[in-house]
Amino acid sequence: MGLLENKKVFVTGGSRGIGKALCQVFAREGADVAFNYSSSEEQAQDTLKQIEQHGREGLAYKVSVTDKHGIVHMVDELQEKWGRIDILVNNAAINKADNFATTTEKSWLSIVDVNINGLYYVTKPIYKNMMRARSGHILNMTSIGAIRALPTSVHYATTKAAVIGFTKCLSREAANFGISVNGIAAGIFDTDLGQALPDYFQTMYSNWSMKGRFGRPEELAEFAAFMVCDRNTYMTGEIVVLDGGTVV
């Protein structure tokens, strides 16, 4: 049996990068996996195929995490179909390379809308169902940019710091209902987001990392599978750094 045998999982931003790796690894470990995506139908179908190759059910929803009514409708559909959602992974996020002095209000609000408001819109309805079931695991993806003075965008770092506060405070409330809430502070991974960083920063990061490279999405997904499994019974309110051992 896998770590997540017969679990029902929802992953935000599951059509590419770390989200896609999470869906694939969780399915391999025995879970049925639903995910949302915002644009590429082709990438979403590829994720579905990878889930189904492991003999598990995959469900894809084209809805943005910022569409609160669409998210509520989606969660209602999942509850009706599955009867429960055992695991939520809040993975979806965006970033835009910018200096604070030139950041526009539009850019600031767009990052906040996806990275913070989207976190709220998705978590709230799923959390309430977990409360009724008195069980569940929530895993939130944050960043080392939230806890170290890295040359990343201020608006991105700010939202990822908010995810840490969200995780820690929610874990205290959630513990009363048998729900664990944890987070991963990710370093730079070999994804579209990581490859979009300036060349000089990619080189700097490789030098900072004890591993001497970017992380692979599947490396994070393997660790995440343990964090949300029933063998991980005594961890909640924690932010685990997974960054290849960066020294900055």
Segment 16-70, tens digit of pLDDT:
999 999 999 999 999 999 999 998 899 999 999 999 999 999 999 999 999 999 9
Q: What is the pLDDT of residue 132?
A: 98
Determine the Cα–Cα distance for residues 77 and 168; give it in Å rounded to an integer: 29
Segment 121-139, tens digit of pLDDT:
999 999 999 999 999 999 9
Residue 175 pLDDT exceeds 80:
yes
The residues near 155 (Cβ < 8 Å, ≥ 6 apart) are 96, 98, 100, 103, 107, 108, 111, 112
Determine the Cα–Cα distance for residues 111 and 113; give it in Å rounded to an integer: 5
Segment 210-235, tens digit of pLDDT:
998 899 999 999 999 999 999 999 99
DSSP letter at 114 equals I
Q: 8-242, what's its fold?
A: Rossmann fold (3.40.50)
The more confident residue out of 176 and 188 is: 176
Residue 120 is among the residues annotated as catalytic for this protein: no
Least confident of 41-50, 84-93, 149-158, 179-188: 149-158
Determine the Cα–Cα distance for residues 39 and 19; give it in Å rounded to an integer: 14
Angle in degrees, CA 228, 66, 69, rounded to 5: 95
Q: What is the pLDDT of residue 200?
A: 74
Q: Give 198: exposed, middle or buried? Use CB within 10 Å, 0-12, 13-18, 19+.
A: exposed
Q: What is the pLDDT of residue 97?
A: 84
Length of the chain equals: 248
Catalytic residue among 120, 156, 205, 234: 156
pTM of the predicted model as reported, rounded to 2 decimal places: 0.95
Q: Give 62: exposed, middle or buried? Use CB within 10 Å, 0-12, 13-18, 19+.
A: middle
Determine the Cα–Cα distance for residues 53 and 150; give it in Å rounded to an integer: 39
Determine the Cα–Cα distance for residues 114 and 102; give it in Å rounded to an integer: 20
For 15-76, the DSSP string reads TSHHHHHHHHHHHHTT-EEEEEESS-HHHHHHHHHHHHTTT--EEEEE--TT-HHHHHHHHH
Beta-sheet pairing, 58-62 with 32-37: parallel
Q: What are the boundaries of each domain within the chain?
A: 8-242
Collapse the DSSP code of 10 into the 3-class scheme (helix H, G, I; strand E, B; otherwise coil) and give the result: strand
Q: What is the pLDDT of residue 248?
A: 62
Provide the token pair at 176: 């009363």
Angle in degrees, CA 43, 46, 50, rounded to 5: 140
